[in-house]
């Protein structure tokens, strides 16, 4: 048990150190996310009066911005040089069809869940349970898209499912440590949001760190006005840092088994 704790701690330490190095190279991604947010808000304003057509427009813009964000995160993780403005421009269009395809596969069951909820309000618990299951089993879908080779959206979902089965302790522990002091109600609220898009909804990726930051700052006794301002300022860097950390953690977990990490940890400790 101690060896497992040591190897997991070593895993997180390496991921955090790699995240710091990637942030130094990729600080421009934070500014890109701010610009993407403004574009997404503009798209919402344009699409709002267009009805169903507006929904398709929003879906396309979301896929464009999510794909670009994942491409930039990939470059910060794999690249050896700093991100430049040209990289931001070239990222537009990357992973567009991957995001669209996975989103379409998930849209059908989500629509059925919403329909059942409207027909029977008592099904709220069932809907929440299904969204929680989607949130858990498909949580690493963004990392699967840009860090693995896949053949189809169903392959993305399968690889996400397999990854969670193999690494659920190491993958979800950081999230549990951050959210546990804030209570289960916040966790269920976040999972019901992310479960609808498997982490591939741009505004949801912003809302999650903003909500967590607001909850932590409120618990620390900071005033509501200051909490809102600090959360708005800190959300973009926190979102980028979170995505980079997830990417490094996913890469490390995919490259080794739990047994290999236990052995490497023992070897590292003996070398010290």
Whether the predicted pLDDT of 272 surpasses 60: no
Q: Tell me: the pLDDT tens digits for 125-150?
A: 777 777 788 888 888 999 999 999 88
The Cα diameter of the chain in Å comes to 65
pLDDT at 271: 47
DSSP state of 64: H
Of 122, 135, 233, which is closest to residue 189 (Cα–Cα)? 135
Q: Tell me: the pLDDT tens digits for 21-36?
A: 999 999 999 999 999 9
pLDDT at 99: 92
Q: Mean per-residue pLDDT for 59-78?
A: 94
Q: In this structure, how many other beta carbons lie within 10 angstroms of the beta carbon of residue 25?
A: 17
Distances in Å between the Cα of 250 and the Cα atoms of 31, 133, 146, 202 are 24, 20, 11, 20
- Alpha-carbon span 230 to 224, nearest angstrom: 10
Domain coordinates of the chain in residue numbers?
A: 2-24+103-271
Could you tell me the pTM of the whole model? 0.88
Query: Do residues 144 and 159 touch, judged by C-beta distance below 8 A?
Result: yes
Q: Mean per-residue pLDDT for 49-58?
A: 85
Of 179, 18, 198, which is closest to residue 103 (Cα–Cα)? 198
pLDDT at 147: 93
């Amino acid at each position: 048990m101690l060896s497992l704790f040591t190897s997991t701690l070593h895993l997180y330490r390496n991921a955090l150190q790699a995240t710091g190095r990637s942030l130094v190279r990729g600080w421009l991604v934070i500014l890109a996310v701010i610009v993407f947010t403004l574009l997404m808000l503009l798209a919402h304003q344009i699409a709002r009066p267009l009805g169903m057509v507006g929904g398709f427009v929003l879906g396309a813009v979301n896929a464009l911005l999510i794909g670009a964000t994942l491409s930039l995160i990939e470059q910060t993780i794999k690249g050896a040089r700093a991100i430049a403005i040209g990289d931001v421009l070239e990222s537009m269009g990357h992973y567009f069809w991957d995001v669209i395809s996975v989103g379409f596969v998930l849209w059908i069951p989500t629509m059925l869940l919403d329909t059942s909820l409207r027909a029977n309000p008592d099904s709220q618990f069932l809907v929440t349970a299904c969204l929680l299951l989607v949130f858990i089993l498909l949580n690493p879908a963004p990392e699967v898209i840009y860090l693995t080779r896949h053949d189809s959206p169903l392959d993305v979902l399968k690889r996400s499912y397999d990854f969670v089965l193999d690494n659920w302790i190491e993958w979800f522990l950081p999230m549990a440590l951050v959210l546990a002091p804030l209570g289960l109600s916040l966790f269920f609220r976040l999972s019901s949001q992310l479960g609808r898009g498997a982490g591939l909804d741009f505004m949801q990726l912003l809302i999650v760190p903003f909500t967590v930051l607001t909850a932590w700052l409120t618990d620390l006794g900071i005033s509501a006005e200051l909490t809102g301002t600090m959360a708005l300022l800190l959300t973009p860097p926190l979102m980028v840092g979170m995505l980079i950390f997830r990417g490094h953690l996913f890469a490390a977990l995919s490259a080794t088994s739990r047994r290999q990490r236990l052995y490497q940890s023992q070897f590292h400790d003996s070398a010290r």
